Amino acid sequence: MSIKETIRSRRSIKQFNGEPVSEKEVLSVLEDAVWAPNHGVREPWRFVVAADDGKARLLDILKEQTIGPKWKDMQQDEVAKAMQKFTNVGAFVFVIVPEDARQKERLEDFAAASALIQNAQLLAWEMGIGTCWKTPVFLDHPKFREALHVHRGERIVGMLQFGHFDIVPKGKERTPIEEKITRL
């Protein structure tokens, strides 16, 4: 598949089939994704990966953050339904960057991490693995950050979900580029 075909065919997958994605597959994607442009080759990222056995530990953390303590009083089927958006995901990657006090560097680091995430999504797609970049509100919750060992002065840019899928969502049309251009 050409780069153009990969870019145009990739979709954000929101419905995964529950088949696991191994840590080996995730690390293979990240090995190449880190070639994203980044100013001064600062490589301003680190990752928390939850695959294989780590996924079960993450699901417990997510249960606490998304449902809260009330899950202990809920019926099993209610908990399962509330957690379904996480349990069918094959693996998770949290992309973390430093929050540089200098605005220019902070923006460069965020842009570099965003490019890395796009690289990861394209590389996974090429392997037949779907992804979805999520930024849920709980990423900033102090207890969630603590559970993921996110330090003061760091920011979670996003939660990247990896998984296998049965249905490729239909692509949405894009605005013609001519409508987005201002010529000088």
The CATH number for 144's domain is 3.40.109.10
71 marked as part of a ligand binding site: no
Number of domain units in the chain = 1
Mean of pLDDT values over 62-91: 86
The pTM for the full model equals 0.93
135 marked as part of a ligand binding site: yes
pLDDT tens across 37-62, in order?
Answer: 999 999 999 999 999 999 999 999 99
Phi then psi for residue 8, to 5 deg, are -75, -25
The domain of 154 spans 3-180
Name the percent of the chain lying above pLDDT 70. 100
133 marked as part of a ligand binding site: yes
Reduced to 3 states (helix: H, G, I; strand: E, B; else coil), residue 101 is coil
Q: Which two tokens stand for residue 89?
A: 């995901």
| pLDDT reported for residue 68 | 79
